[in-house]
Structure 1
């Protein structure tokens, strides 16, 4: 069954190329400077600096993300198929048309999937259950496969995912009249995605001035890619960037595929990269 596993790992390698394609689409998008900077009066001495979306992210960005999602999902499904085929010694294995890697948020949901996967050996189902999102101590939404499942389901059945900008670096410089000083409001934490507009800074001047007397330099503000439906992701209190999430998802998927191969007595092309088979003996 070596070839079946080779196909599953090839899918995952293809996902990496789709992530790079997504990154290139993002670079092309931001090269057009799709955000404007605006200064808004709150009071005569209080001002807000806003990043305002001038041009929405192109559909090519959403399509690249869609392809990445579908490829990750397919790699998991292919891996489970290869595992079952290896365990049963049959290709196709029993009830092959039902084989799809289950991703469940509750134990009840997984119990239903076990019934659907009645042709899969019980020991495989037990091992797959141990890796389910509902087993995570931080809740299913902290599990990357939960998001693969939810995002891919929306992508397939409803619509492409919307690409956005997210403030990833924050440094603002002000140019004010010589007799005016400013104090920034440090409670503003603008590390968020931009939907329409986002307040990236707030400050108070030493005296009332016109907003047209203020020039804001935001060259120190970095804007990274984001997917709107995934923007709220939280991993054990951390909020990794979208690129980090995509990379972690590929690593997490590879680790699961390598475990499937190890249980099947198969060595992936290029060897094991996320686990040491000796640790399992």
Structure 2
């Protein structure tokens, strides 16, 4: 059944190539400088500096992200199919049409999904339950498998995920007229996505001031890609860039595939990368 595992890992490798394609497409998008800078009065002495979307992210980004999601979700399903074939010694395995890698947010949901897995050995079902999102100490939404399932489901059945820009670095310089003192509002922390426009700085002058009197240099503001539906995700309480999230998710899925390979007495085509199979306690990421 080694060939079935090869197909599952090939799906995973396809996702890796799609992430790199996504990065190249993002680079082409920002090369056209799709954001403008606007300076507006909040009151006569207070100004806000905003990043304003002039050119929305192209549909190509959403399509590539869709393909990345689909490849990872399919890799999990293909890995489970390979495991079912390996443990049964049959291809197709018993009840093949019912097999789907379970991703559950509650124990009750897993019990329902487990009815589709009755052809698998009990120890496999137990291992699958241990990896479920509801087992995560920070809740199911802190689990990357949860996000692969949710994002892929919405992508398939609803619409493509919207690509956005996200402020990842924030260093703004301003030049005020002679004799004018300004103070930045330190409560403005715009490390978030730009949905239409985003306030990146707010400053107050010691006299009424017009936007044309201020020169703003935003070359220290770095804008990275973001996916709207995934923008609020945190890992262990900390925000991650989209690039890091995608890489971590690939590692997480790879770990699941390698665990299913071990249970099916198979070896990944390029070996084990997320744990040492000679150390059983190392199997779970």
TM-score under structure 1 normalisation?
0.98
Structure-1 separation of matches of 2:195 and 2:254: 33
The alignment covers a number of residue pairs equal to 281
Write out aligned runs for 1:169-180 (5 A): 169-180=169-180
CA distance in 2, matches of 1:279, 1:119: 28
Give the distance between the partners of 2:90 and 2:149, measured in 1 at CA. 28
RMSD: 1.0
Matched, 1:74 2:100: no
Aligned equivalent of 1:148: 148
Q: CA deviation at 1:116?
A: 2.0
1:196-275 to 2 correspondences below 5 Å: 196-275=196-275
Could you tell me which runs of 5 or more consecutive residues in structure 2 were left unpaired when the two chains were aligned: none
> Following TM superposition, by how much is the alpha carbon of 1:118 offset from its aligned partner in structure 2, in angstroms?
2.2
Question: For the residues of structure 2 that align with 1:268 and 1:209, how far apart are their CA atoms?
Answer: 65
Could you tell me how far apart the structure 2 residues matched to 1:81 and 1:241 are? 32
For 1:47-86, what aligned pairs fall within 5 Å after superposition? 47-86=47-86
Residue 238 of structure 1 deviates from its aligned partner by: 0.6
Distance 2:98 2:123 in 1: 17
Distance 2:149 2:278 in 1: 32
Match of 2:101 in 1: 101
Deviation, 1:38, is 0.5
Counterpart position of 2:183: 183
> Which residue pairs with 2:45 in the alignment?
45
Check the 8 A contact 2:46/2:209 in 1, yes or no: no
Distance in 1 between the 2:206 and 2:110 partners?
61
Q: Deviations over 1:43-83 (max 9, x none)?
A: 11111110111111000000000000000001000111111
C-alpha displacement of 1:103: 0.4
SS at match of 1:79: helix
Unaligned stretches of 5+ residues in structure 1: none
CA distance in 1: counterparts of 2:227 and 2:160, whole angstroms: 10
Q: Report the Cα distance in structure 1 between the residues aligned to 2:166 and 2:125, rounded to whole angstroms.
A: 39
Measure the CA separation in 1 of the matches of 2:121 and 2:59: 42
Greater than 3 Å deviation, 4+ residue runs: none
The separation in 2 between residues aligned to 1:153 and 1:271, in whole angstroms, is 30
Q: Say whether 1:280 aligns with 2:276.
A: no
Instruction: Give the secondary structure class of the aligned counterpart of 2:50.
Output: strand
Q: Secondary structure at the match of 1:270?
A: coil
Shift of 1:25: 1.0
1:134 alignment counterpart: 134
Name the CA distance, whole Å, in 2 between partners of 1:247 and 1:161: 18
Matches of 1:207 and 1:259 in 2, distance apart? 65
Tell me, yes or no, if structure 1 residue 159 matches structure 2 residue 159: yes
Shift of 1:235: 1.4
Instruction: Provide the secondary structure at the position in 2 that maps to 1:277.
Output: coil
CA positional deviation for 1:84? 1.1
Distance between the aligned counterparts of 1:209 and 1:156, measured in 2?
51
